[in-house]
Structure 1
C-alpha cells in the first residue's frame, strides 16, 4: 500500500497532487532549442491578440521546439510561438500558443497563465542539420528545419522576450463566464545561462488542427533560424510569476 503525504492541500487533486509541491525550484542542464525567427501577417497577429488585453507591437515572432528532458524535476518537450506584446507600459514575450508532452508541466505552467496544451514533440540534430516537429491530434502543427552549415549573420530577435506576460484565466465552475482573470509576469532569465547559439538558414511549415490555429500564420517570411543550448534554472526568488493586474 502506498503512503500519500498531503502537504498544504492547495493543489489538485488534494489527496494526490499532480503538480509537485513546491513547484520551484527546478532546473535543466543542456536545454536544447531549435527555432526560427519569422515575420507574419500583421492583421493575423492582431486578430489572435484580440481576446487578450495585450497590445500589438510587431509581426516578428519566434517559432520553436525545445528539449527539456534533462530536467531532474520536470522533464518535458515544449514548443510554441512567441510575440513581443505590450501591457500598459510593460513590454514582454507572449506565448500565443504553446504545447508540451507532460501533464505535470502543462498543469504547472497553467498556474501562471501559460496557454499549454498536450502535443508530441521531436527534436533531432544530425551534424549541422537540426529538425524539430510538433504533432497534435494527428496533425503536424510545427515543422522547423535549420541548416547550420549555411550560417546567417544578424538574425533578428524579439524586442522583448522577458518577462513572459501571461493571462491567467479561471472559468466559472457553475456556468459560462470567467471566475478570475489576471495578468502575470514571469522572468527567470537572470539565472539561465546560454552555453551556445548557432544561426543558420531555416524552413518553417505550420498547420492547424481542429482547435490549434497556428496554421493561420502561414505563409511566414523566415528571416533565419538557430540552435541553442542553455542551462535553465528557476529559483524560489524568480521562478514564480507576479500578478501585474486583476481584470476580473
Structure 2
C-alpha cells in the first residue's frame, strides 16, 4: 500500500515557494532602456508562441530585488509588446536571474524563460548602470544618465504590463507537451512608485539567446535607443494580481 503524500510538501524538495504565495520587495530599483528593433526579427522571435507582436519597440530591463521577502536576487530581461486574444501586455522573451531557486521558480511556475547569470548594478547622483554576464561572456549592459530634458514620448503608452507568458511542461515520453498555456500576471497593479528619473539611455547586447541560439548567431538588432528611466518602487506580488490568470490552454498531441 502506498503511503499518503502531501503534494504541497514537494515544493520543499524543489526549493522554491508555491505559485500562490505572496511576496514583497520594498525599495526595488529598476533600470529600463527602451529601444526600437527590427520588426521582422522580433516577429521571428515571437513566432513559436501563440502571442501576437504589437510593435517594434522593446525594453531592456535590470532590477535589483535585494530587499525581497523570499530572498535577494537580481533580474534582467528583454520585454516585447504583445497581445493574446485582445489582452495586451509585455512578454519576457529573454530573462536572467542570479539565484538558482529564482531561476527555476519563475520558469516552472509561470513560464518566464529564465537562465542563470551574474550581475553588476549601481546607481548614483548621475545615473544608473547594470550589466549581466554568463560566467565570462557579457550578455547585456545598460545605463541611464539622468537628464530632465529627456522625454518618454517615444515609448510611453506602450503596454509592457501585464506580463503574458507561455508555460510549457513537455511530455516525459513524447514529442509534445503535457501542459501548454498562456498566463497573465499583473503585478504592476501593486507598484507604489517612489522615484522616477528619465535620462539618456545606452545599451550593449551580447548573445542574449545564450543556451538556446534562437537568433542563429545574429545579434538582437537595436536600430535606435529611445531613452531610459530609473525607477524606485515598492513591489508586491499579491494573491490578487501576482497569481497568474489562465488566458488560454492550447491543445496538445497525446
Give the gaps of 5 or more residues in structure 1: 1-6
So what's the TM-score if we normalise by structure 2?
0.87
1:147-204 deviation per Cα after TM superposition (whole angstroms, max 9, x unaligned): 1146412352362122211100011112433221001111122221111110111111
CA deviation after TM superposition for structure 1 residue 97, in Å = 0.8
CA RMSD of aligned residues (A): 2.1
Instruction: Quote the residue 2:7 is aligned against.
Output: 9
Out of 63, 68, 71, the residue aligned to residue 71 of structure 1 is 68
CA distance in 2: counterparts of 1:233 and 1:60, whole angstroms: 26
1:94-141 deviation per Cα after TM superposition (whole angstroms, max 9, x unaligned): 111111111222222121111111111211113213111111142211
Instruction: Quote the residue 1:4 is aligned against.
Output: none
Deviates more, 1:39-48 or 1:121-130: 121-130
Q: Secondary structure at the match of 1:218?
A: coil
Given the superposition, is the C-alpha separation of residues 143 and 187 from structure 1 closer, same or farther in structure 2, using an over 3 Å criterion?
Answer: same
CA distance in 1: counterparts of 2:61 and 2:223, whole angstroms: 14
CA distance in 2: counterparts of 1:222 and 1:86, whole angstroms: 23
Instruction: Quote the residue 2:235 is aligned against.
Output: 232
Out of 146, 149, 152, the residue aligned to residue 148 of structure 1 is 146
Out of 105, 130, 137, the residue aligned to residue 132 of structure 1 is 130
1:70-110 deviation per Cα after TM superposition (whole angstroms, max 9, x unaligned): 11223210000111101111111111111111122222212
CA deviation after TM superposition for structure 1 residue 24, in Å = 1.8
CA deviation after TM superposition for structure 1 residue 11, in Å = 6.1
CA distance in 2: counterparts of 1:148 and 1:50, whole angstroms: 36
User: Does the 8 A contact of 1:37 with 1:222 survive in 2?
Assistant: yes
- Matched residues, number: 241
Given the superposition, is the C-alpha separation of residues 120 and 246 from structure 1 closer, same or farther in structure 2, using an over 3 Å criterion?
Answer: same
Flag as ranges the 4+ runs of structure 1 deviating above 4 A. Answer: 212-215
Q: Secondary structure at the match of 2:94?
A: strand
Given the superposition, is the C-alpha separation of residues 46 and 96 from structure 1 closer, same or farther in structure 2, using an over 3 Å criterion?
Answer: same
Instruction: Quote the residue 2:222 is aligned against.
Output: 219
Give the gaps of 5 or more residues in structure 2: none
